[in-house]
Amino acid sequence: MMTEKKAASDNSVQERGVTAKGVEAWVIEGNRRFRSDPGNIARIEMTKSGQHPKRAVAGCGDSRVAANNTNSASIGDQFNTQAIAAMLDNAGIAALMYPVLHLGTRVVDIEVHTGCGGIAAAIQFIKTGKLPDAEKDSILNQEVRRIASVLSATPSALDDPTAASILVGSEVAKRFAGCSSEIREMAKSGELGINVWLYDIKTGEKHVVGRVAYDGRSDSFVVVRV
């Protein structure tokens, strides 16, 4: 049974012209090219005793939107973390805290994107109750439910997936601003900038769509749309 299942899975990747061995060879060859680029070698040399990333970035895991690729960043430029629809859990929040608290990073960006599968799955769940994994409480389904819990509070976002992406990014940005007393103080004073970016998968362009600001009247963080 397992053999049949494995064979079927191998066939499906072969149909796309990719095999496990082929992927391994592709990675090794890519790494060889990476190491033969003098610019990369200079960056590795420059950062081998420490890193001071310009910004910490949380993005979606979508293969089309990786933050390092989409603003031509290099070794040491950005501290990256990813989650479906950039909907960070505690591990993701911690990955953004580290460079702020220990590496001197003063810009944190949550990058969401158009055409996000995670957002589409959450909207589908809210509208139809259908989840992406057959196993009801699988980790994947739990994450889709977490995204849905943010969206269900704003019914208008359900008919506008890009607005829904921005909404999720904004909630993550606000949560990060209040994640610890030290970060809260930095975000409150403006020493730490926390922004929401939107990347367009059709044009490859990205721009800031919101900035976290402290609202003294409500003693809470808000996202001011740009």
Task: State the residues that interact with Zn ion by CB under 5 A.
Answer: 60, 62, 116, 118
Question: Is the separation of the CB atoms in 43 and 35 below 8 Å?
Answer: no
Nearer to Zn ion by Cβ, of 83 and 187: the residue is 83
Minimum CB separation of residue 118 from Zn ion in Å reads 5
Minimum CB separation of residue 199 from Zn ion in Å reads 9
Question: Is the separation of the CB atoms in 165 and 114 below 8 Å?
Answer: yes
Minimum CB separation of residue 123 from Zn ion in Å reads 13
Nearer to Zn ion by Cβ, of 113 and 186: the residue is 113
Nearer to Zn ion by Cβ, of 110 and 116: the residue is 116
Minimum CB separation of residue 203 from Zn ion in Å reads 16
Q: 184 burial class (0-12, 13-18, 19+ CB within 10 angstroms)?
A: middle
Give Cα separations from 104 to 57, 78, 98 (angstroms).
Answer: 14, 12, 9
Cα–Cα distance measured from residue 114 to residue 112, given in angstroms and rounded to the nearest whole number: 7
Nearer to Zn ion by Cβ, of 107 and 201: the residue is 201
Q: What is the 3-state secondary structure (H, E, C) of 102-162?
A: HCCCCEEEEEEECCCHHHHHHHHHHHHCCCCCCCCCCHHHHHHHHHHHHHCCCHHHHHCHH
Minimum CB separation of residue 146 from Zn ion in Å reads 14
Nearer to Zn ion by Cβ, of 105 and 165: the residue is 165
Cα–Cα distance measured from residue 110 to residue 88, given in angstroms and rounded to the nearest whole number: 10
